Amino acid sequence: MNFEIKNSNLIEKIRVNDMSLYYKDFKALEDVSIIFYEKNITALIGPSGCGKTSLLRTLNRMTDLIIGARVEGQILLDGVDINNGKQDLPFIRKNVGMIFQKPTPFPMSIYDNIKYGVTISRRIRKIEMDEIVEKSLRAAALWSEVKGKLNHSALNLSGGQQQRLCIARALAVKPEVLLMDEPCASLDPISTMQIEDLMRGLKKTLTIIIVTHNMQQAARVSDYSAFMLAENAGDPGRLVEIGKTEDVFTNPVDRRTENYITGRFG
């Protein structure tokens, strides 16, 4: 099956070619080929255990942290294979940021949370750092809520604010791709809407890939949706279908996609 989307206006940001992922002997993903387009939001959907998060984690080599994890095939970021041995890992992680399911603020001030990632890559003057903090918090739609308490602990923020702080922290190092692994799973509906609204704003400059179990969220927020499935327990996850979100949610091509999104199987 050809998973390329025909649209000459789209620019490839990440291309995954025949990628398989192993955790020791277990094959978690098989022959996944997918293109993520620049300045678009792509949602990865599918039942638990189909490899959505695993696929997401391969895109900035988070799988390097897992003992026994091995990737076959190619993952091209702007045309360069991130697994070719010559790529600088901090460079990849800077360009491809990640937001996790549960907000993960560091136990330090709001200001220092933002500063942390930026100072890993370079030294920076206080005045410039102030600008980066403000800009990042504004981009994450959090500035107006925290501008008077930048030195307060990030742990005192609400769940939704903590998640937006994590987004601000990721944005501070100016990534080009943002990976979001169920970013709203632990948030209330208002915070969820704020994050979704934020995502729509961020895609003007960023490529976003989101894993979500919330079908309505995928339908609301993404431009493209990819359905993944591991047919039976123990099978590797495979990509079943990718298409424009409006097509996938109104008239999916594959019967398995139809069955999943209409709740015929879970």
Nearer to another protein, 48 or 216 (CB): 216
Amino acid at 239: L
The neighbouring-strand residues paired with 228 are 239
Residue 221 beta carbon to another protein: minimum distance, rounded to whole angstroms: 14
Residue 258 beta carbon to another protein: minimum distance, rounded to whole angstroms: 5
Amino acid at 116: Y
Nearer to another protein, 173 or 218 (CB): 218
Residue 77 beta carbon to another protein: minimum distance, rounded to whole angstroms: 32
φ, ψ at 258 (rounded to 5°): -55, -50
* Count of positions (residues) in the chain: 266
Q: Does residue number 189 form part of the binding site for another protein (CB under 8 A)? A: no
Nearer to another protein, 2 or 216 (CB): 216
Q: Does residue number 85 form part of the binding site for another protein (CB under 8 A)? A: no
Provide CB contacts within 8 A for 33, sequence distance 6+.
3, 16, 17, 18, 19, 239
Nearer to another protein, 33 or 259 (CB): 259
Provide CB contacts within 8 A for 61, sequence distance 6+.
82, 83, 89, 92, 93
3-state secondary structure of 61: coil
Q: Does residue number 264 form part of the binding site for another protein (CB under 8 A)? A: yes
Stretch that binds another protein, among 17-25, 163-171, 197-205, 256-264 (CB under 8 A): 256-264
Residue 263's alpha-carbon distances to 47, 113, 213, 215, 237, in angstroms, are 10, 40, 12, 10, 19
Stretch that binds another protein, among 13-21, 72-80, 95-103, 213-221 (CB under 8 A): 213-221
Q: Does residue number 261 form part of the binding site for another protein (CB under 8 A)? A: yes
Q: 156: which 2 tokens? A: 């005192």
Q: Does residue number 76 form part of the binding site for another protein (CB under 8 A)? A: no
Per DSSP, the residues of 81-102 read: ETTSS-S-HHHHHHHEEEE-SS
Q: Does residue number 216 form part of the binding site for another protein (CB under 8 A)? A: yes
Phi-psi group of 59: left, alpha or beta (phi > 0 → left; psi -120 to 50 → alpha; rest → beta): alpha
CB 103 within 8 A of CB 191: no
Among 39, 138, 215, 244, binds another protein (CB under 8 A): 215
Tell me how many residues contact another protein (CB under 8 A): 16
Nearer to another protein, 162 or 245 (CB): 245
Residue 246 beta carbon to another protein: minimum distance, rounded to whole angstroms: 11
Among 132, 219, 239, 240, binds another protein (CB under 8 A): 219
> Radius of gyration over alpha carbons of the chain, in Å?
19
Q: Which x/- pattern, by CB under 8 A, does the window 220-249 give for another protein?
A: -----------------------------x
Q: Does residue number 119 form part of the binding site for another protein (CB under 8 A)? A: no
Contact residues toward another protein (CB under 8 A) are 215-216, 219, 249-252, 257-259, 261-266
